[in-house]
């Protein structure tokens, strides 16, 4: 049976007369990886921020485990968002803190001792395949790929059920991007996570279960990632084949059969 973790219903968000999210509906399945594709500026980050409560929708509903987060009390929200992890578009590490402190920050801030946090951080570091000697380096001493891994490790120590990734491979070379995708996939399987990935890196389709395409504020395609390349939906077809110049073709003549 399909179990829905996040149900987005008729979501609208306006910024200065522009409907960045425009009657958007999307079901996100439990324990699966859903990727939301879309060109730059289509509103992917705005969608993610509405899911996590950083941006308040103009109207519509976002049910998380059946509770509408747009109408929930602060107490309910605290409970809901406890299970979320968010991996930012930039790794968003704190430059003045070393890797150990960056990964352990949420636990250290809760008053846990360094001795208590160290094994947890080491375990997370191992999960993202970073050497222990990385612990005492500073962000300026790390490559882009290493920073993304540290960002992922920082999220993992909070033991989330749901991880939202905003452009986890932007700025990385294709080989490092593949390694990050493999890591995200293995995290999802190991911890039975619900993952939502915002991306325009098509390599993610090799790892995702479902793909949704965002265009003009709406989901224009929603289907299995494996068959996305074979779809005759004009929006996904055009996005995947890179012919992003000019308006979306709505001619649905099937050229693939
Ligand atoms: N806080 C804000 N106030 C006003 N407009 C905003 C705000 N945040 C985003 N926007 C606008 O919403 C639109 C979508 O932005 P968003 O950051 O979601 O795009 P994106 O799809 O994530 O792009 P990228 O792939 O470049 O990250 C843009 O036109 C942006 O200017
Ligand atoms: Mg973005």
- pLDDT tens for each residue of 179-197: 889 989 998 999 999 999 9
- 118-168 pLDDT, tens digit each: 999 999 999 888 999 999 999 999 988 899 889 989 999 989 999 999 999
Which pLDDT value is given to residue 170? 85
Asked if residue 104 has its Cβ within 6 Å of ligand 1, the reply is no
Scanning the structure block, which residue is given the tokens 């992003």? Answer: 244
- CA 200 from centre of chain: 12
Q: Quote the CA–CA distance of 55 and 76 in Å, as a whole number.
A: 17
- For ligand 1, mutation pick of 15, 165, 169 (most atoms within 8 Å of CB): 15
CA of 167 to the centre of ligand 2 (A): 7
In three-state secondary structure terms, 244 is coil
Q: Domains in the chain, please, with CATH?
A: 31-58+67-213+220-240 (3.40.50.300)
- Better pLDDT: 200 or 150: 150
Which residues make up the environment of ion ligand 2, defined by Cβ < 5 Å?
44-45
CA of 45 to the centre of ligand 1 (A): 6
Query: Model pTM?
Result: 0.87
CA of 166 to the centre of ligand 2 (A): 7
- 95-113 pLDDT, tens digit each: 999 999 999 998 999 999 9
Instruction: Find the Cα–Cα–Cα–Cα dihedral 201, 129, 150, 121, rounded to 10°.
Output: 150
């Amino acid at each position: 049976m399909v179990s829905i973790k996040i149900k987005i219903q008729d979501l609208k968000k306006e910024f200065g007369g522009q409907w960045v999210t425009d009657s958007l509906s999307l079901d996100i399945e439990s324990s699966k990886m859903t990727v939301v594709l879309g060109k730059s500026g289509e509103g992917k980050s705005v969608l993610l921020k509405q899911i996590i409560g950083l941006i308040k929708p103009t109207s519509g509903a976002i049910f998380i485990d059946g509770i509408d987060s747009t109408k929930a009390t602060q107490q309910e929200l605290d409970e809901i968002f406890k299970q979320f992890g968010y991996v930012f578009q930039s790794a968003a590490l704190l430059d003045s803190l070393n890797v150990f402190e960056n990964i352990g920050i949420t636990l250290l801030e809760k008053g846990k001792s360094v001795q208590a946090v160290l094994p947890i951080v080491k375990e997370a570091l191992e999960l993202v395949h970073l050497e222990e000697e990385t612990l005492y380096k500073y962000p300026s001493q790390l490559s882009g790929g290493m920073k993304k891994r540290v960002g992922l490790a920082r999220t993992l120590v909070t033991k989330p059920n749901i991880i939202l990734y905003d452009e986890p491979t932007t700025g990385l070379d294709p080989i490092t991007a593949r390694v990050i995708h493999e890591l995200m996939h293995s995290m999802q399987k190991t911890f039975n996570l619900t993952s939502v990935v915002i991306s325009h890196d098509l390599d993610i389709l090799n790892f995702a279960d479902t793909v949704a395409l965002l265009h003009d504020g709406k989901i224009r395609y929603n289907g299995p990632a494996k068959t996305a390349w074979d779809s005759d939906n004009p929006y996904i077809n055009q996005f995947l084949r890179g012919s992003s110049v000019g308006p979306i073709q709505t001619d649905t003549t099937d050229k693939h059969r």
